[in-house]
Amino acid sequence: MIDLRSDTLTKPTPEMLDVILSAEVGDDVFGEDPTVNHLEEKIAAKFGHEAALFCVSATMSNQIAIRVNTSPQDEVICDKNAHIYKYEGGGMMANSHVSVRLLDGDRGRITAAQIQENINPDNVHFPRTKLVAIENTMNKGGGCCYNLKEVQKIREICVGNNLRTHLDGARIFNALVASGESALDWGSQFDTISICFSKGLGAPVGSALLGSKETIDHARRVRKIFGGGWRQAGYLAAACNYALDNHIDRLKEDHIKASEIGKCLAKRPFIKEVIPVETNIIIAECEGVEAEKLVRIFRDHGILCFTFSSTQIRLVTHLDISIDQMNDAVTIINAMKI
Ligand SMILES: *Cc1c(COP(=O)(O)O)cnc(C)c1O
């Protein structure tokens, strides 16, 4: 099977496993796990932030970010397809008691002008607008990337209106590799950033939340009450350290593989359109066949993928898909008759 369902499916490489097994660990709730401490310092420095918090999942780091950036009754602005809204089980409401203002972005990318229009006036009727959250790359938008210039405008508006900014950067390294922009330039636009190590970077578990020292001290208290205080987490942090050192540049290869598969799909009669492939995610609109049926047909031919809506399928390339498997997938798709 060529498994293109998600970039979370990767398993540690033998080299990563070696690093895990030889990790120096301690009790992280006591702040005594040297491998966790090293990871937190390293990832914070990469984005020019003061501090970082190693978390279980990017859902957890997003949820903690929303909690530390808001107070109950505040409002969060994000795109209608944002992961924090759509795929985190209503956590914003349950964990932080905030309301959400959903914007209709271009493939999930909201603009400074849209945000400006949706900031509530200071009036007792309205929730207080407090946080703007954007996602890069945008999963629902087919892994598309934000323009840094637009993000700088967003930051200006937020600073001018006393709003906090959060980046759901589960796949930020895919965006940076695709655009050639620097982590520091992106880091300076946000109060908090959530980064996932268990997607394209290929670590088994883990995410990080970045922010100021004060914000991360607060975040550490929130993580504790979410049940996320962990002990010898260094075994997992070791994998994330390894991924940061070895698995960033190679994301280029995932993007090439996605682009090849996307080009091949676009030519097939059962596909109406492929959303332009910018990184490692391919979203294809089906033609004359339901997405669910197409996914079953793909599976019968040895390719696993997801339905993304009733008319769309999603395929994702990652570390565990070799160039040979990509070529096989292209051959299979080219030969498929429906
Ligand atoms: C996957 C994903 C998350 C959540 O990551 P988990 O580690 O699976 O909890 C958050 N945001 C985006 C954009 C994602 O794609």
Report pLDDT for 45: 98
Question: What is the separation of C-alpha 312 from the centre of its chain, rounded to a whole number of angstroms?
Answer: 20
E-assigned strand segments in 155-311 = 164-169, 192-196, 207-211, 271-274, 281-286, 303-304, 306-309
Decide: residue 287, CB within 10 A, 0-12 exposed, 13-18 middle, 19+ buried. Answer: middle
The whole-model pTM stands at 0.97
Give the model confidence (pLDDT) of 144-172 as tens digits: 999 999 999 999 999 999 999 999 999 99
> From the CA of 142, how far away is ligand 1's center (Å)?
14
Q: Residues enclosing ligand 1, CB less than 6 A?
A: 57-59, 62, 83, 135, 139, 168, 170, 196, 198, 207
* Mean pLDDT, contiguous 10-residue spans, the chain (338 residues): 97 98 98 98 98 98 98 98 98 98 98 98 97 97 97 98 98 98 98 98 98 98 98 98 98 98 97 98 97 97 96 97 97 94
Give the model confidence (pLDDT) of 265-284 as tens digits: 999 999 999 999 999 999 99
Q: Find where tokens 């599976």 sit.
A: 299
Question: Of the residues 56, 60, 62, 83, which should be mutated to test ligand 1's pocket, given the most ligand atoms within 8 Å of the CB?
Answer: 83
Q: What's the chain's average pLDDT?
A: 97
Report pLDDT for 338: 85
Q: Which domains does the chain show, CATH number per domain?
A: 14-246 (3.40.640.10), 250-335 (3.90.1150.10)
Q: How far apart are CA 202 and CA 269, in angstroms?
A: 34
Helix intervals (H) in 170-250: 172-179, 183-187, 213-225, 234-246
Q: How far apart are CA 298 and CA 211, in angstroms?
A: 43
